[in-house]
Structure 1
Amino acid sequence: MAKKAESGGYARLKGDLAQKTPGSFYVLYGEEDYLRRYYLSMLRRQLVDGPTEDFNFHRLTSENFSMQVLSESLEALPMMAERTMIQVDDVDLFALPEDDRTQLAALFSDIPDYACLVLVYADFKPDKRKKKLWDAMEKNAVLAEFAYQTERDLTAWIVRHFRAEKKNISPALCGYLLQRCGSSMTRLDAEIAKICAYSGADDIVRADIDAVVEPTLEAVVFEITDALGQREFDRALERLSVMLKLRAEPIAMLGAVGSHMRRLHAARILQAAGKTSQDLAPLCGVAPFAANKCFAQARRLSDRFCAQAVLLCCEADRQMKTSYDDPARILELLILQLAEEARHD
């Protein structure tokens, strides 16, 4: 799907909800689950909210889905309401037998006016080789992707959420919060609530964030690599101690380090090819703002270091899986090896 079509579907959904005129067929998908759930709940409120909701809302999953159940749900007339809503969660329709796909294509082309069919996916990978079904879906559905938001969009969203709690936060502190939490709006929403409950002042300060927000594993790994790139080796070891205190398995910590090193290596390759962070984000499956920071970080490191770092992470992974050594010690040795590589870079 072209990005233009995806953003167009998202805008179409927002427009339909703003005008309170939901359509008949939507596909909601993408990695930003907070937005996906938010707009799904708005659809449900506009379509079937009220005392007869239980009669007019039909939810299908992989456990209860069948063509018969879907057909009956679409044909069920609304009870004391104008519309019905049929929500289908994470069912791979393209994997159905050919006869079912043919029936689905016909259903997609003739959804009753009183019904609204909503297909919901965290990871939507349509098999476009099943042309009849894909053509019917593409022609009749509003395909709304909920992708990771840009740093600018997230900053504005964070400011609005604090303002709703009668709190003020600066754009710089928004950036710091993003660095600590990552780009997940679900986590950010929970952390904002914690900060507001903790702070008794109108203006949020950095100490409020540090007091209640535990950094993500990825955030600490980024800080370690950033310290290595700036030759601040003591700081890298200090952040390692922070990482070891997080409630995560050593193999997950090592995985986070390895993933970040591979992203840096990929960034160096893209930079040599004249590409930008916009190319890194979809390649590595990270948010745009995280790709920007990774791209900037990679510029301070050499190709040799990034390539060697990946090899060292692979060797540490092998040791952690095959040896009886202390996993924490393996991690510590890895960071020391990376520091030594950076020192001679």
Structure 2
Amino acid sequence: MAARETKPNGKSQLIRDLKNGEFATLYIISGEESYMKEYYLRQLRQKVVDETFADFNLIEFEGKGLTPEMLTEAIDSYPAMADKKLIIVKDFDLFKPPAGFADVLPSVLGDLPEYVCLVFYYDVLDGKPDKRTKLYKTLEKRACFAEFAHAEEQELVAWLERRAKALGCMIEPGDASYMIFLCGNSMTNLAGEMEKAAAHTTTGVIKRYNIDAVCSPVLDAVVFDLTDAVTAGRFDRAVALVGELLAQKNNEVMIFTAITRHIQRLYAAKLCAENRGGEKQLMEMIGSKSPYYARQIQNAARRVPLSWLRKAASLCAETDAALKGGAADRQKQIELTLLTMAAELKGEKK
């Protein structure tokens, strides 16, 4: 049965298909950015299925309970009073399927009827294809792989500006970048934080103080403040932040992993500066797509000597081993390491 060739950029193909109203028989939607995945799944529901006949032409399965018989029956039944039917399967591991699917999937997915629009949607599972498998070779020819990664900072800033406008406010690009730094790059999370900031402003302009007043910082942003407190000699503030993170149900290993990662990024920024590396090079070194974050790391790294960063990195490695080795009081272990870091820095500055 004829099928369209896979386009090089599956995300662009999905967007084009929705615009043109011409749909592939098979989509595989995955990626980190839940907001965009959910948006385009909603669009498929609206565009492929007439709501009047949704009871007949929209079938949804959870991957965990799916059987080969359920899938083939859904595919083989014709749509009612329509040209297409939509079948959505959520979190089904195509490349490590349950028993009974191995022989079925290549033949079924390789010859889907034109009246079917089948979507494998990944929310909890990552949905990354295993290109070594026989099934992948079939899907490569037949499926549209639409992967939604987190947007670049420039895209997110423009999107936040549009969100603010829709809420009757405005936000400057610098303040939008700060919101991304504080709240993370998840569009789902940022949408909620933007609503809080818009409700807080009394001037119609969302400023940094509105964001600080009502928005919830992600772990990396709190750790940034925590490390700044250590380097500024404000040990009490650093300990208080550890307590706040624990109260928010972050475990000690997770918190200290974030601290270690931050120290490593400061070290990378220091080395990059000493070798006259630019912002782009630093972003590659620290694995960040955010120019704003890279500049913040650069500024923080300027305030501490390289020798201290080496010692701090060594302390982090020792503490990480102790925490994972079953330290009796993990919170105290973290606090002791932060105190040692602060003392070492004070000695460096004398």
TM-score higher than 0.5 here?
A: yes
Partner residue in 1 for 2:36: 35
2:338 to 303, 325, 335: 335
1:276 to 255, 273, 281: 281
Q: Deviation at 1:341?
A: 4.3
Letter of the aligned partner of 1:182 in structure 2? G
Partner residue in 2 for 1:124: 127
Q: Deviation at 1:243?
A: 4.3
Q: Deviation at 1:40?
A: 1.2
Q: Report the TM-score, using the length of structure 2 for normalisation.
A: 0.81
What pairs up with 1:119-198 in 2 under 5 angstroms?
A: 119-122=120-123, 123-130=126-133, 132-198=134-200
Partner residue in 1 for 2:220: 218
| Contact kept in structure 2, 1:58 and 1:87, CA below 8 Å | yes
Partner residue in 2 for 1:245: 244
**1:128-180 Cα shifts (integer Å, max 9, x gaps):** 221x2111111111111111111101100111001001101111110111111
Q: Deviation at 1:329?
A: 3.3
Rate the CA distance shift 1:145–1:8 in 2: closer, same or farther, 3 A: same
Instruction: Flag structure 2 segments of 5+ consecutive residues without an equivalent.
Output: 1-5
Q: Deviation at 1:30?
A: 0.9
Partner residue in 2 for 1:232: 232
**1:226-273 Cα shifts (integer Å, max 9, x gaps):** 566xx5333x7535523422423451322322343455567788998x
Q: Percent identity?
A: 33
| Contact kept in structure 2, 1:150 and 1:289, CA below 8 Å | no
| Contact kept in structure 1, 2:182 and 2:221, CA below 8 Å | yes
Give the alignment's Cα RMSD to 1 decimal. Answer: 3.3
Q: Deviation at 1:339?
A: 3.0
SS in structure 1 at match of 2:121: strand
Q: Which moved more, 1:261-270 or 1:186-195?
A: 261-270
Q: Report the TM-score, using the length of structure 1 for normalisation.
A: 0.82
Q: Which moved more, 1:218-227 or 1:73-82?
A: 218-227
Partner residue in 2 for 1:59: 60
**1:55-114 Cα shifts (integer Å, max 9, x gaps):** 222222232212221111111211233321111222112223797334322222222121
SS in structure 1 at match of 2:29: strand
Number of aligned positions between the proteins: 333
CA–CA distance in structure 1, aligned partners of residues 7 and 183 of structure 2: 27
CA–CA distance in structure 1, aligned partners of residues 267 and 152 of structure 2: 23
SS in structure 1 at match of 2:27: strand
Letter of the aligned partner of 2:12 in structure 1? A
Rate the CA distance shift 1:204–1:64 in 2: closer, same or farther, 3 A: same
Partner residue in 2 for 1:93: 94
Letter of the aligned partner of 1:39 in structure 2? Y
